[in-house]
Structure 1
């Protein structure tokens, strides 16, 4: 069977026209979607690239920071805390006799015959230190003693004459005036005896003063006379004696430190040239301050010891009370024109300058009276090589 299909031309043309209109409307939509897709892909790629670079930079920054931390210098730090500190004032001075007795000629002097003592000897009160020639004075004393005998003889004769006259006056052979004259003669003779005795005593006292004697017990520090030397009252001290052997250190301290001291405060003395320590105490404080040096003197009494030589140099550690404060070694404290300061490590391991005020100096360090609480991390050493704000790697000091 044959079928014939007849297609009308007008119907086909209409279909083609409709299909063409549909194709023309769909093309712009597809183009727009394609553009959006491409833009989205580009944005996604840009975000991905940005994230990749961000991650790379973050890792690089972290690595750089780690490198910087690894390169930060390792610095020893310490947390001083707060403790009770025995106040100590360090001073220096000269040793001397606490009570020095200069001994010289008390009389008219003369030629020295002998000197039985020497420097370094111990003497007692009244002991003869030097003997002066008294040959002339001895003869003078003998003459004075003879004059006493002459005066006594004259006095006895005058008394006898008076006694006889008194027996004769009753018989009328002697007048009352004669009795008065004989009585006066007797009294004058008795007075001359007393004068002669006084002269002898004076000569003996003068002769006794020819000997140079110790005024008190003590240690002979100096001997400035030799046998054969002629001495007089103008010769100056022949001996110097430390009474009782007592010594002292005349310690020089600042006026601020002097205000912290009082008599009775103990002190430890170390003479130059020895490590031996001696214990003494302040017995007198200088009432004045030297206008040039701004220092005063603390006189520290010491018992006798061979190592304590007057004129020698010594150092003293004087107790000046106690305080509660942080204490740092000297290496941690620096100073410049603005004053004393330390470097404190903050939470970011950066050093920061902190002004401080120092106080008592001890053998274990220096007290910080202002500027620190004691809980900070303070650079212990090498502060002079750091700058404020510098990052460090703090290392805790071994206790």
Structure 2
């Protein structure tokens, strides 16, 4: 104990203060040292925890970066919306739209002359062939003579009646004689009419020996030659395409036929020709062939020498327009659940999207249901992806998607 301690102890004793205890002082020092150790340990622990979290974040970032680098690169496209003119392809044979068979309508006879040939354009009423009429000409002359005889008899009967009427006033002829003469005059006039009717009939029969075109058009067939004997049972002697109009009997599948309507336009290309002809559907046949499940769309075409009946041609029929996204065939996939595409989300993961397709064109296939056109669609290799898989999208221009 030094002097200061002694004085403090004495002052404490004198003033009634607490006496100094060396053990208590050591305990207080030990508590202060332990507190400092705990604080230091807490600081060190906090630093270690912070470092652990930092290292964990760096590791996760590295893993994420590694995963991003390992994700497959896919090409994506945002199709937007396009106005598409729908078209249906079909094939068929060319034929006359209205085919007119022409035969002998009179008594017939030996063919004297044929005035037309296949491929000629004929007008309505034009003489196609002339049949020998020498017999009919003689019959016609005889009937003309009978008309003259009947007219002479009628004139004589009229003269007799006129004279009788003058004599009856004088009382030389009775009323009964006048009536008889009147009847004779009327009978003679009637015989004139009969003879004239017979002559007119013979003239008509003679005129029918000419084979005439019933309508203007293109002569497709000629089955008659000079010297041939023809009659009502000789069959078809000529075939005419009325107005020269042609048609394509386009064979269309049952599903596509339901999309067409009368008046739809079409482009027809004959086989072996690069020339295209514009036409339109004028009739959809109401029946479907049970064998191949196809129907016939009849496409009317104007006259053109390049259109030959019996030839084969292809057609592109306009089936209407639609505004919808359009995708190439490579972007569309299908399975037992139907047609679908893979859409890449903002998180880089692919998701399946069921769609319904529409028109098929040379530029792609329209999607009429399931897309609005703003999505990022996997363009290729969709068959190697799975829903939920992370990918690295790249646009067609090579930029990051």
Report the TM-score when normalising by structure 1: 0.72
Q: How big is each residue's C-alpha offset from its partner over 1:237-284, in whole Å with a ceiling of 9 and x where there is no partner?
A: 322222222223333445554554444433222222222222223334
> Does 2:66 align with 1:101?
no
Going from structure 1 to structure 2, the CA distance change for 1:304 and 1:334 (only over 3 Å counts) comes to: farther
Going from structure 1 to structure 2, the CA distance change for 1:161 and 1:284 (only over 3 Å counts) comes to: same
- Give 1:172 shift: 4.6
Q: How big is each residue's C-alpha offset from its partner over 1:190-237, in whole Å with a ceiling of 9 and x where there is no partner?
A: 111111111111111111111111122211122222222222223333
Q: Given that residues 120 and 220 in structure 1 are in contact (C-alpha distance below 8 angstroms), is that contact kept between their aligned partners in structure 2?
A: yes
CA distance in 1, matches of 2:80, 2:352: 18
How many residue pairs match? The answer is 343
Going from structure 1 to structure 2, the CA distance change for 1:170 and 1:81 (only over 3 Å counts) comes to: closer
Going from structure 1 to structure 2, the CA distance change for 1:229 and 1:189 (only over 3 Å counts) comes to: same
CA distance in 2, matches of 1:294, 1:66: 52
CA distance in 2, matches of 1:176, 1:331: 112
CA distance in 2, matches of 1:88, 1:63: 48
Alignment of 1:194-343 (within 5 A): 194-254=193-253, 257-286=256-285, 288-290=286-288, 292=290, 295-343=294-342
Alignment of 1:130-141 (within 5 A): 130-141=129-140
Going from structure 1 to structure 2, the CA distance change for 1:254 and 1:66 (only over 3 Å counts) comes to: closer
For structure 2, list consecutive stretches of 5 or more residues without a partner in the other structure: 1-55
Q: How big is each residue's C-alpha offset from its partner over 1:20-54, in whole Å with a ceiling of 9 and x where there is no partner?
A: xxxxxxxxxxxxxxxxxxxxxxxxxxxxxxxxxx9
Q: Given that residues 245 and 304 in structure 1 are in contact (C-alpha distance below 8 angstroms), is that contact kept between their aligned partners in structure 2?
A: yes
Going from structure 1 to structure 2, the CA distance change for 1:391 and 1:307 (only over 3 Å counts) comes to: farther
Going from structure 1 to structure 2, the CA distance change for 1:289 and 1:379 (only over 3 Å counts) comes to: farther
Equivalent residue of 2:314, what SS?
strand
CA distance in 2, matches of 1:140, 1:275: 59
Equivalent residue of 1:237, what SS?
coil
- Give 1:348 shift: 8.0
User: Residue 160 of structure 1 corresponds to which residue in structure 2?
Assistant: 159
Q: Given that residues 254 and 288 in structure 2 are in contact (C-alpha distance below 8 angstroms), is that contact kept between their aligned partners in structure 1?
A: no
User: Residue 190 of structure 2 corresponds to which residue in structure 1?
Assistant: 191
Equivalent residue of 1:235, what SS?
coil
RMSD of Structure 2 on Structure 1 (CA): 3.7
User: Residue 88 of structure 1 corresponds to which residue in structure 2?
Assistant: 87
CA distance in 1, matches of 2:277, 2:75: 38
- Give 1:157 shift: 2.5
User: Residue 370 of structure 2 corresponds to which residue in structure 1?
Assistant: 371
User: Residue 117 of structure 1 corresponds to which residue in structure 2?
Assistant: 116
Equivalent residue of 1:228, what SS?
coil
Report the TM-score when normalising by structure 2: 0.72
CA distance in 2, matches of 1:310, 1:64: 70
- Give 1:391 shift: 7.8
